[in-house]
């Protein structure tokens, strides 16, 4: 067969005049293509034998066949080249289907290949094809018709990684419909893969470079520089990327050059299949056997006795000669920096200014509790104050001087609506969206590069890492659905078997027992199953929130729901309390590291709701160290109005918030409610179906004038809830009380504009998945670092399929994202719902253990647990954003990851400031290094000098200076709250600064450089030098000397 193919070619090459027709054919031939059925032809390597001894009835393996075709083509090329004739490329079909071995032989022999999509299964082989710049001619439409769906074709992955890929048609007869198949191929790829014009031009250029058209033709098409229509920036990027990669490989293997063969790759392949004549023996020596080389390649691609991870770790450890021996390994990591000219486009500058305006609007509204490093006001009670809700707004005055007017001033509803419109205009601006889209993509790519460069070091940072021992908080879970269906079933069966005589209701003077209730509805507990409870979600609930609400009705029965899942019923919520304590809380107690913030509803239907809830909590002993309570406010005005419970929206607000003002002004009026609010409630939520269409926002209609049955619009609800919570917080913080966060349901469904209201008013939000629809909104959430508690399993049943959920995107980009369960009763199957949520996410989105621990750490930081608790879980300096605040043995998050997030955030803000050509312009959500140094230094001095503890009031809380908030707040008592201790505390940082050593001052001047680059001096070394006089204090703060 070889003789029949190649002897005529040799004869025509040696005697062209005697074989004119074949010579003319060869002058128009560019190369040779080998086609075989890769699904049936094997690559097994039997004992090598020459072609003359291969039996005619057996097909040789592809590797032998390809080798002899290549050897003949190469030999023919060498002769023709010496005579000035055209030469041929060797381009086999390989890697369309079948085993990766076909691609191994192609790597050794081919100039380029057709298809090659199976390269994707071997990262090592893909990397080698990249380094060698072997051309891949990929046919996505043909692949889609035969083997691989278009969306799963690796063409885009190859193109992004820098492989030399081009598009081709394969068989237009079978796979194309237009008159221009190649244009159809390019057009389809452009739409499916969102290729830009530059991308298309680069792919087209690759096709010319891969081809074997003569040099004059290529020069005509691409120009002398071979650039074509591809911008210099793109070509320079490609060239520099692989040049740096090859240099990196040379450095890594520098110490092993004596043991390893010389490692060298060229930027491209020769037009001849083999560049060196040494590759093929002379005729006297016979033909080189390919078996040894192929087996060596196979072993490298699929090692069986070689631990790649350990080898890479060893190489990294031995080759990193530049690292400081005193450096912390966790801070010594490879950074990704973007350098180049700054764009001064006026439209870009205007877009950055709009982003700045958006951040400023949030700062105008959002309430933030005084940070833990600042002292708090002493506990005090002053019953001289009184509060009245006027037009839905709290109006606080002193009884003795009501003419002085209200104490607290917040933006009114008209101003709120104007700021909302300004924010809406900013995020809808085309330039802002383009900027946000590009910056978010960059954040995505930065994280991918960080993972590629540092994942091994992150894994090695904590040998004892155990996700199960990372503290985690389910920051979004509803208590009425906080148990699992199995736990609920066990509880009902237990009650039916042992407590049938419990009196559960009274009807016209006749008592009704639990057994009577079961008999009335023909419920046989012996036949009950989880399915028959009909509480778990299924596909029928997708985009049907109304049907989802019905799943709270056990066995479809509202009376059972009221009895078992509500605290306000004839039994005083006894069954609800027992179910929570014996099932949900008991499960929490078995896991030392899992906590929750369960929601319980207060509707605003009566003034005594708060009193009843506090009594239920106290009577049944509902306190648990594993749980904090959030009060959820259902936006259920229409239900309350139609039920005759309220006559106006103002009545809902009055019933909701006036009791809180009364207990805040005079805690002794109801000690049980005061204890519940102070010790066990961390914040408020606002919930309901967001997908309902909102009425127009009419600010001129006050809550007392809202007297119809229509539900107020979302923004109306949110503003009046926010203004009441914020005013209450301002009063409570000035009197040494605990405050409440505002963490509503926002962005689960419905209008994306709800996220703007959440951005303005919320401390954190639940869900937020609609951010995926608007890059500008997602970007401002990133800049503000607003907590987002996502519940993917809940979303997948109601509004968004699991693999379309944006959570992994949020996390990679650096949003303050955490995982939560929402409603375990409906959405979970195991007895550990939060662990189930993490487990599925880790498998579906390939989250590493470091990722899991970081998400868990985010959940703790977002939660409303007390400062002292967070100190136990994350370390004494948990509130610092850099690695200085990270305690590896508690959070199990490597300092590398924390430092990466810290640096990338500040780099992002610095980029925006550079566009505007200014500094310290943006309000940053993370402290800078300068600020962190000042805080820690002050704390260390306090501890060293024995004045770290302030005077305490009768509640045991610290006595501090008055908290200064950005809102207009007068001192209600008109008194000077500063004593001698406070003055010492205030001046301590200044005194300490004056006593700094000169070396410390020098380091302080270099803080900005440290913000950008922590690698030159280990962070802990800076800490130790910065606070050398307070070593013991620093040790107590969790900073090692």
The CA distance from 919 to 596, in Å, is 40
Please give the angle made by the CA atoms of 868, 872 and 876, to the nearest 5 degrees.
Answer: 75
The CA distance from 322 to 981, in Å, is 49
The CA distance from 716 to 695, in Å, is 10
Which DSSP category does 961 fall into? Answer: P
Say if CB 631 and CB 599 are below 8 A apart. Answer: yes
Residues near 399 by beta carbon (within 8 Å), at least 6 away in sequence: 384, 385, 386
Residue matched to tokens 């896991």: 591
Which DSSP category does 212 fall into? Answer: -
Q: Which of 142, 140, 68, 148 is nearest to 109 (CA)?
A: 68
Has 675 been annotated as catalytic? no
| Count of CB atoms situated within 10 Å of the CB of 891 | 26
Report, in this order, helix, strand and coil percent for the chain, each rounded to 5: 55, 10, 40
Is the dihedral angle over the CA atoms 619, 620, 626, 632 positive or is it negative? negative
CB-count exposure of residue 925 (10 Å: 0-12, 13-18, 19+): middle
Q: Which of 684, 621, 628 is nearest to 474 (CA)?
A: 628
Q: Which of 176, 450, 767, 906 is flagged as catalytic? A: 767
Tokens of 443: 């954040």
H or E stretch including 820? Answer: none
The CA distance from 177 to 523, in Å, is 63
Say if CB 348 and CB 437 are below 8 A apart. Answer: no
Tokens of 670: 């109801």
H or E stretch including 51? Answer: none
Which DSSP category does 807 fall into? Answer: H
Distances (CA, A) of 546 to 474, 480, 540, 543, 823: 25, 17, 11, 9, 15
Say if CB 714 and CB 757 are below 8 A apart. Answer: yes
Say if CB 628 and CB 597 are below 8 A apart. Answer: yes
Say if CB 9 and CB 26 are below 8 A apart. Answer: yes
281 phi, psi to nearest 5 deg: -70, 160
CA distance between the termini of the chain: 77
Please give the torsion angle defined by the CA atoms of residues 14, 18, 20 and 22, in that order, rounded to the nearest 10 degrees: -60
The CA distance from 175 to 171, in Å, is 6
The CA distance from 601 to 481, in Å, is 12
Say if CB 155 and CB 193 are below 8 A apart. Answer: yes
The CA distance from 626 to 592, in Å, is 9
766 - beta bridge partners? 745, 789
Say if CB 657 and CB 724 are below 8 A apart. Answer: yes
Which DSSP category does 540 fall into? Answer: G
Residues near 369 by beta carbon (within 8 Å), at least 6 away in sequence: 729, 733, 739, 741
The CA distance from 32 to 273, in Å, is 11
Residues near 168 by beta carbon (within 8 Å), at least 6 away in sequence: 114, 137, 138, 139, 182, 185, 207
The CA distance from 136 to 91, in Å, is 9
Strands 968-969 and 408-409: antiparallel
The CA distance from 842 to 860, in Å, is 19
* Active site (catalytic) residues: 767
């Amino acid at each position: 067969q070889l003789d029949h193919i190649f002897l005529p070619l040799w004869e025509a090459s040696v005697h062209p005049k005697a074989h004119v027709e074949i010579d003319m054919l060869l002058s128009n031939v560019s190369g040779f293509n080998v086609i075989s059925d890769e699904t049936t032809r094997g690559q097994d390597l039997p004992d090598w034998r020459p072609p003359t001894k291969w039996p005619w009835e057996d097909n040789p393996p592809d590797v032998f066949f390809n080798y002899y075709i290549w050897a003949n083509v190469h030999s023919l090329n060498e002769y023709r080249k010496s005579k000035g004739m055209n030469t041929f490329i060797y381009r086999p079909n390989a890697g369309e289907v079948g085993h990766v071995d076909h691609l191994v032989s192609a790597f050794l022999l081919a100039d380029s290949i057709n298809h090659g999509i199976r390269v994707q299964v071997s990262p090592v082989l893909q990397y080698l094809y990249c380094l060698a710049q072997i051309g891949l001619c990929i046919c996505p439409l043909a692949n889609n018709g035969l083997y691989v769906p278009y969306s799963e074709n690796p063409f885009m992955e190859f193109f992004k990684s820098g492989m030399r890929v081009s598009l081709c048609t394969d068989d237009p007869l079978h796979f194309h419909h237009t008159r221009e198949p190649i244009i159809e191929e390019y057009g389809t790829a452009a739409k499916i893969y969102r290729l830009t014009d530059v991308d298309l031009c680069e792919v087209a250029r690759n096709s010319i470079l891969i081809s074997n058209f003569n040099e004059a033709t290529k020069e005509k098409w691409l120009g002398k520089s071979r650039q074509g229509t591809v911008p210099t920036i793109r070509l320079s990027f490609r060239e520099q990327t692989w040049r740096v990669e090859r240099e990196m490989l040379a450095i890594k293997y520098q110490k092993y050059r004596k043991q390893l063969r010389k490692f060298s790759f060229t930027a491209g392949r020769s037009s001849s299949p083999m560049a060196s004549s040494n590759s093929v023996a002379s005729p006297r020596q016979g033909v080189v056997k390919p078996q040894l080389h192929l087996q060596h390649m196979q072993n490298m691609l699929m090692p069986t006795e070689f631990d790649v991870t350990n080898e890479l770790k060893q190489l990294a450890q031995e080759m990193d000669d530049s690292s400081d021996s005193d450096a912390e390994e966790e801070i010594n990591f490879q950074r990704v920096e973007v350098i180049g000219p700054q764009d001064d486009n006026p439209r870009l500058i205007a877009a950055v200014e709009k982003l700045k305006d958006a951040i400023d609007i949030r700062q105008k509204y959002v309430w933030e509790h005084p940070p833990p490093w600042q002292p708090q006001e002493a506990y005090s009670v002053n019953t001289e104050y009184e509060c009245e809700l006027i037009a839905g707004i709290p109006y606080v005055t002193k009884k003795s001087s009501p003419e002085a007017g209200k104490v607290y001033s917040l933006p009114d509803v008209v101003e709120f609506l104007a700021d909302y419109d300004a924010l809406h205009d900013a995020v809808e601006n085309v330039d802002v969206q383009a900027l946000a889209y590009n910056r978010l993509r960059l954040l995505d790519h930065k994280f991918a590069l960080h993972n590629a460069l540092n994942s091994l070091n992150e894994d090695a940072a904590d040998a004892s890492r155990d996700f199960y021992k990372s503290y985690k908080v389910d920051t979004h879970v509803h208590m009425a659905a906080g148990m699992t269906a199995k736990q609920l079933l066990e509880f009902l069966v237990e009650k039916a078997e042992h407590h049938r005589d419990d009196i559960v209701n009274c009807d016209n003077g006749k008592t009704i027992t639990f057994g009577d209730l079961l008999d009335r509805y023909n419920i046989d507990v012996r036949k009950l199953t989880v399915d028959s409870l009909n509480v778990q979600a299924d596909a029928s609930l997708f985009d049907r929130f109304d049907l989802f609400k019905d799943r709270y009705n056990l066995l479809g029965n509202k009376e059972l729901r009221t009895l078992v899942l509500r605290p306000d019923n004839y039994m005083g919520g006894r069954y609800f309390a027992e179910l929570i304590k014996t099932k949900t809380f008991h499960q929490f107690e078995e896991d030392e590291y899992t906590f929750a913030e369960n929601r319980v509803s207060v509707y605003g239907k009566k003034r005594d709701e708060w009193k009843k809830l506090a009594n239920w909590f106290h009577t049944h002993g509902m306190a648990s160290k594993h749980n904090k309570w959030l009060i959820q406010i259902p936006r259920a005005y229409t239900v309350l109005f139609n039920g005759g419970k309220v006559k106006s929206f103002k009545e809902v607000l009055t019933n909701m918030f006036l009791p809180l003002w009364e207990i805040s002004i005079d805690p002794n009026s109801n000690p049980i409610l005061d204890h519940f609010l102070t010790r066990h409630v961390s914040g408020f939520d606002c919930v309901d179906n967001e997908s309902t269409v909102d009425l127009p926002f009419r600010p001129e209609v006050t809550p007392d004038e809202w007297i119809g049955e229509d539900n107020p619009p979302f923004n109306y609800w949110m503003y009046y809830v926010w203004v009441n919570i914020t005013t209450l917080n301002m009063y409570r913080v000035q009197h040494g009380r605990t405050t409440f966060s505002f963490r509503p349901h926002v962005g689960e469904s419905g209008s994306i504009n709800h996220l703007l209201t959440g951005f303005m008013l919320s401390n954190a939000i639940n869900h937020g998945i609609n951010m995926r629809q608007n890059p500008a909104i997602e970007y401002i959430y990133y800049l503000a670092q607003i907590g987002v508690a996502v519940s993917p399993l809940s979303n997948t049943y109601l509004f968004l399929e699991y693999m379309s959920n944006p959570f992994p995107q949020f996390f990679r980009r650096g949003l303050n994202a955490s995982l939560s369960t929402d409603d375990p009763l409906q959405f979970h199957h195991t007895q550990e719902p939060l662990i189930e949520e993490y487990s599925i996410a880790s498998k579906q989105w390939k989250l590493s253990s470091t990722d899991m621990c970081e998400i868990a750490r985010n959940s703790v930081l977002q939660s409303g647990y007390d400062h002292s608790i967070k100190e136990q879980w994350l370390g004494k300096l948990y509130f610092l954003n850099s690695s200085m605040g990270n305690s590896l043995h508690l959070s199990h998050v490597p300092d590398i990851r924390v430092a990466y997030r810290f640096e990338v955030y500040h780099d992002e803000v610095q980029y925006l400031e550079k566009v505007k050509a200014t500094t310290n312009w943006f309000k940053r959500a993370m402290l800078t290094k300068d600020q962190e140094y000042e805080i820690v230094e002050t704390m260390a001095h306090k501890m060293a000098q024995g004045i770290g503890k302030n005077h305490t009031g009768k509640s045991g809380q610290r006595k501090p200076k008055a908290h200064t908030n950005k809102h207009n707040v007068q001192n209600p008592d008109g008194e000077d709250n500063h004593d001698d201790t406070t003055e010492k505390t205030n001046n301590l940082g200044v005194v300490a600064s004056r006593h700094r050593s000169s070396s410390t001052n020098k380091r302080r001047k270099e803080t900005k450089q440290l913000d950008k680059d922590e690698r030159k001096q280990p962070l802990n070394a800076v800490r130790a030098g910065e606070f050398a006089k307070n070593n013991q204090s620093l040790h107590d703060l969790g900073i090692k000397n």
